[in-house]
Structure 1
Amino acid sequence: MIKKVLHAFKTVFKGLGLTMGHFFAARESRKVLSITDKDYFAQNSGMTTIQYPHQKLPVPDLGRYQLDVEMDDCIVCDLCAKICPVDCIEIESIKATEAIGKTSDGTTKRLYAAKFDIDMAKCMYCGLCTVVCPTECIVMTDTYDRSMPDLKEMIYKFSDMKPEEAEEKRVALEKLNAERLAAKEAAMQQKTQN
């Protein structure tokens, strides 16, 4: 019985000694270093907790964080939405009646983006959407601290087309399609008469 009590005191004092050693060693913070720094693993003492948001850890160059879309380069091909494993990208396209411009790499744009929303609350930051994008308009940024009080604020709307403008584009496309159909039917009738 006395052996067990002595063993208990010994282990308590050993634990307290370890705690006190950490307590006195933690009077100053460790330097915030990048993981590529040669002294990153050499720091053996000091507090490892950073005082966020006043101190921030360096962001790795190839980190996967917040998505961003450069709409001027988007051809609305819908590949990013199709490859997304969690369906966090929602795109609605409207076919243009003619070419509407070019992207920075020279690709001709033929679709309007009536809607281009990314729900960052669903996003799992896999980066697949950035890989399949043919014009590289969807990229991962180094922003990682976007917390919102409401989940609806996590839906980022990249398209700047208003609903009225989208409806105008739809009506123009329907009118063009009707004219083409009428011309095709007229050509078929003329062909059958000859």
Structure 2
Amino acid sequence: MVGKLFNVFRTIGKGLKLTLGHFFAATKSREIKPITDSNYFAQKTGTTTIQYPHQKLPLPEVGRYQLDVEMDDCIVCDLCAKICPVDCIEIESIKSTEAIGKTSDGTTKRLYAARFDIDMAKCMYCGLCTVVCPTECIIMTDTYDRSTLTLNEMIYKFSDMTAADAEEKRIALEKQNAERMAAKEAAMQTYRNKE
């Protein structure tokens, strides 16, 4: 019984020695070093935490963080949504009746983005969507601290088209398709009458 009691006090003493050793060694704040520094992980003394958000650790340039879409450069090709392994990108496109404009790299835009939503709560930050984008309009930014209170706030809506505008574009497309079908039928009827 005395041996077990001695073992209990000895174990408690070892734990307190370790805890107090760290407590008194942490007399200075952590030094923020650039990530390229050879001694980046070699800090043995000082506190291990930083005073966030007043202090921030440097970020690597090739890090994968929040997604952002430059809609002026998007041709709504849907490649990013197709390659996404977790289906966090939802795109709804409407075909235009004529060319809309050009992207910054000269690609002609022929589709409207009625909806372009990215659910960052589902995103696994793999970066595949940024690789397949032909106009490089979807990128990963260096922002990593977008805290929200609900999961619905993690759905980022990049399309600026309203529901009324989208419906107007759909009606114009249907009208153009109907006119083309009527012209095609008229041409077929003319061809049949010649025979």
TM-score, L = length of structure 2: 0.93
Q: CA RMSD in A?
A: 1.5
Deviations 1:79-115 (A, max 9, x none): 1111111111111100001111111111110000011
What is residue 187 of structure 1 aligned with on the other side? Answer: 187
Deviation at 1:42, TM superposition (A): 2.8
Percent of aligned positions that are identical: 77
What is residue 93 of structure 1 aligned with on the other side? Answer: 93
1:1-194 matched pairs, under 5 angstroms: 4-194=4-194
Alpha-carbon distance in structure 2 between the residues aligned to 1:5 and 1:139: 62
Deviation at 1:16, TM superposition (A): 2.1
Deviations 1:159-191 (A, max 9, x none): 101111111111111111111111111111111
Alpha-carbon distance in structure 1 between the residues aligned to 2:87 and 2:183: 40
Structure 2 residue ranges without an equivalent (≥5): none
Alpha-carbon distance in structure 2 between the residues aligned to 1:105 and 1:157: 24
SS in 2 for 1:117: strand
Deviations 1:29-79 (A, max 9, x none): 121223321221332111111122221111111111110000000000011
Task: For 1:168, give the aligned amino acid.
Answer: E
Structure 1 residue ranges without an equivalent (≥5): none
SS in 2 for 1:72: coil
SS in 2 for 1:71: coil
TM-score, L = length of structure 1: 0.93
CA contact (8 A) 2:94 2:169 kept: yes
Alpha-carbon distance in structure 2 between the residues aligned to 1:152 and 1:41: 37
CA contact (8 A) 2:101 2:108 kept: yes
Q: How many residues align?
A: 194
SS in 2 for 1:131: helix
Alpha-carbon distance in structure 2 between the residues aligned to 1:18 and 1:152: 44
SS in 1 for 2:113: strand
Deviation at 1:8, TM superposition (A): 4.2
